[in-house]
Chains A and B, each alone.
Chain A
């Protein structure tokens, strides 16, 4: 069988024009599909940046909250009520809100301010410069060194700025897993400083972060929080809820889906048509092979091999091209939100297999129908 497949391989790759067109079609389709889904994955990932970076196991929020960026402040009694729930090891408030800072240069810059619980600093980021204890110092803020860091003028420890007419000082530079989605820098401070420096509504607790005594306690905690009229979600559930919001309620998901389907159709059209032409041009030769003594299944293997080989080569090239573009884009635009995940790769792989399947189905049908007698008739 290897010899027959080698013939199939040579018939395919030695027809350089057709092979290049086939490869281009599939590469292009994979590239587009991977780019679309990667951008979407990047957006979804970044939309949950706060949840990922804080890392709390259970989050309590108003049921109307869809994403960590749009919190609805809760009254203080909710925090007390949550702390009294059986199964809660401890619960702390989290402030999350937007503010405008004035840099030393006079430029105003929007920022996201995360206010950590004063006593525990639960959810604190990993510092690459400075000491976390310094966050208790007067006017202290920790800045996150992410893609948006430069928008604050690449601050260093000791850099000063103004926030709502208050003096702010950078006391540490932190590293987080994920940058935010909205292109604004992030500052960490204590909860009390956040609510006193930043104009706030009557209620100030954006989220309550819970450390449960055990994983088994989570369902009961969720039920009791629900009885309070609020919602408790595990980290994964909150990420999922955020993803669902962007997927189904913003139009982003639909648009990406449409673009992905278009990419698939474009790839299928190019490669399907080219492969069909390739088969048509070689039809007499396949007929001659049949006359010589090739069995139907051997011809099917040849076509399947050709379609699969082209598809996998195109898949590899498409992934490579997408990775290259994302890498280059990130070098130029640090906030570029695209992320290749195994799900993206798997999805594109399945789509490529579908393209290969449909292309080879057309070819196989044609080849199996050719009668060797037609070769004699000319």
Chain B
């Protein structure tokens, strides 16, 4: 049995009040395990992004718990939550959100600097992560000089820089062409995923479903089912 990375229990999230109240997540419970690549899929407005934000410690749910190592992250104070996100979760945003005024290596080093690592040491370590994603030679360039696929890899390097055990990808292929998107996910599966790391990907791009270990389907804020992915290995 795989080790449990995170457990979400009866999560409920709504926005607005009265007539304007919209329920985005309705009683969602699931586990995510180390060593697996879990996809959360569903049509627009199904609550995927809201769920992703709740489980990553960004958006407080109205009901339910998110447990990591038996601790409900939503019992943490805001600074503890920030520490949790910094040390345990790595984010790859849909639009990457790289800093255009910093060099590529400085972008990757941001989580290390936030962890109070010395500047030079942060840069050295960040260079190592850039090497993992194959962009060491692009280290001194600003991200705007890189292609979409390269920027995605820089975002991945930044996400893994703090050595998190949960990696969260929000629509990783949305800004990429089909081939590049597949290559990126393939790269992540082969080089970033390991038995001490859990990767959760929100997507509606069926072209990358083949890399999933498990696919969690959502609709109208509810889980409508789980599928064993093609990429699952017993």
Contacts and interface: CB of A to CB of B under 8 A. Distances in A.
Interface residues of B, number: 36
A289 interface: yes
Interface residues of A, number: 30
Interface in B160-219: 162, 170
A3 B122 contact: yes
B88 to A, nearest CB: 9
B111 interface: yes
Contacts of A369: none
Contact of A291 (B85, B99, B101): B85
Nearest to B158: A292
A292 B106 contact: no
A372 to B, nearest CB: 5
Nearest to A290: B82
Interface centre among B82, B89, B116 (most CB of A within 10 A): B82
A292 B91 contact: yes
B85 A292 contact: yes
Contacts of A371: 58-59
Given A6-B119, A10-B101, A292 B110 contact: yes
A48 to B, nearest CB: 52
B37 to A, nearest CB: 19
Given A14-B101, A293-B83, A372-B58, A298 B114 contact: yes
Nearest to B94: A378
Given A3-B116, A7-B113, A293 B85 contact: yes
B99 A11 contact: yes
A371 B56 CA distance: 13
Interface string A13-44: 01100000000000000000000000000000
Nearest to B96: A288
B52 interface: yes
A231 interface: no
A227 interface: no
A373 B49 CA distance: 9
A3 B117 contact: yes
A342 interface: no
A2 interface: yes
Interface in B75-91: 78-79, 82-87, 89, 91
Interface string A293-321: 11110100000000000000000000000
Contacts of A290: 82
20 contacts: A1-B116, A3-B116, A6-B113, A6-B119, A10-B101, A11-B99, A285-B99, A288-B91, A289-B110, A291-B56, A291-B58, A291-B93, A292-B91, A293-B86, A293-B89, A295-B82, A296-B78, A298-B114, A376-B58, A378-B95
Given A288-B91, A291-B58, 9 more contacts: A3-B122, A6-B113, A7-B113, A288-B93, A291-B85, A293-B84, A298-B114, A372-B58, A373-B58
4 nearest CB pairs, A to B:
A293-B86, A14-B101, A3-B113, A288-B97
